[in-house]
Homo-oligomer: A and B are copies of this chain.
Amino acid sequence: MSAIDEAAREFRRLPGIGPRTAIRLVYHLLRSPPGQARQLAGSIIEMIERVRSCDVCGNFAESAICTICADSRRDRAVVCVVESPFDVRSIDRTGRFPGLFHVLGGVLSPLDGIGPDELRIALLIERVRTSNGELREVILATNSSVEGEATAVYLEQTIRPLGPRVTRLARGLPVGSDLAYVNGSTLAEALSGRREM
C-alpha cells in the first residue's frame, strides 16, 4: 500500500471521515509546507503522551488532578455525573455550572457486559462518603438514551441513601426548536415538566 493510501486509511478511522474526505485531507497535507504535517503528527503524539485520567473525577488531565478538580474556586458541594470527558467539556463550556464533575466512563449495558464494576461508580460512592456531608447534590447528566436513563436510575438508588440530593438534567424543548419538528416524547416531557412563568 502506498504511503498516501496508508495515511488516508488512518484518517478514515476517525469519526465522520469517509474515504473522500480522508483523501482530501491527505492531499491537503502533501500540498502544505511539510512543517504543518509534522506539527499535526507531533501534536497528536504529544497529546497522547501527556494526557491521562484525573485521579479524582476521571476527566482528561495533564497531571494527577485535572484543571477543574484543582480549581479552588469551584463549588465542591455539587458534582455532575457524566458519561465521558467530552460531556465534561460541553457542560463546562456553558459557563453555567460552578461545581465539579465525575466521569463514569460509559453507561450500564448488561448486554455488552458493562455492569457497575466496569464504570467509575465505586469511586463516585467513595467521593460522596468521604465528603462528610460537604457534597450536597449529585446531578445525573447521563445521556437521554435507554442505557443512560437506566444508569441514572441505578445511581439515584445507590446515592440517595448516602445523603445528597440527587437531580437529573431537565428534559424539554431544545432552545430555538420548532414544535412541529420536536418528537412526541420530548413534547410529553416538556409538558409534564412545565414551569410557572
B residues in contact with A47, CB < 8 Å: 3-4, 6-7, 26, 29-30, 37
Identify the stretch in A10-18, A94-102, A134-142, A147-155 within 8 Å (CB) of chain B at 4 or more residues.
A10-18
Q: Are A3 and B50 in contact (CB under 8 A)?
A: yes
Residue A39 is within 8 A (CB to CB) of chain B in the complex: yes
Please report the C-alpha to C-alpha distance between residue A46 and residue B9 in the assembled complex, in whole angstroms. Answer: 13
**Is A42 positioned at the interface, with any CB of B under 8 Å from its CB?**
yes
Most B CB within 10 A of own CB, among A4, A15, A24, A50: A4
- Each complex incorporates copies of this chain amounting to 2
Chain A interface residue count, CB cutoff 8 Å, equals: 46
Assess whether A109 is interfacial by the CB under 8 Å rule.
Answer: no
Q: Which of A83-91, A159-167, A183-191 contacts B (4 or more CB under 8 A)?
A: A83-91
Instruction: Point out the residue from B7, B21, B84 that lies within 8 Å of A44, measured CB to CB.
Output: B7
Chain B residues with Cβ below 8 Å from A46 are: 3, 6-7
Cα distance A16–B16 in the bound complex, in angstroms: 11
Q: Determine the distance from Cα of A42 to Cα of B41 in the docked complex, in whole angstroms.
A: 7
A30 close to B51 (CB less than 8 A): yes
Known contacts A27-B85, A48-B30; A40/B60 CB under 8 A:
no
A60, B4: Cβ atoms closer than 8 Å: yes
Give the interface of A toward B (CB within 8 A): 2-4, 6-7, 9-11, 13-17, 21, 23-31, 34, 36-48, 50-51, 60, 62, 67, 84-86, 89
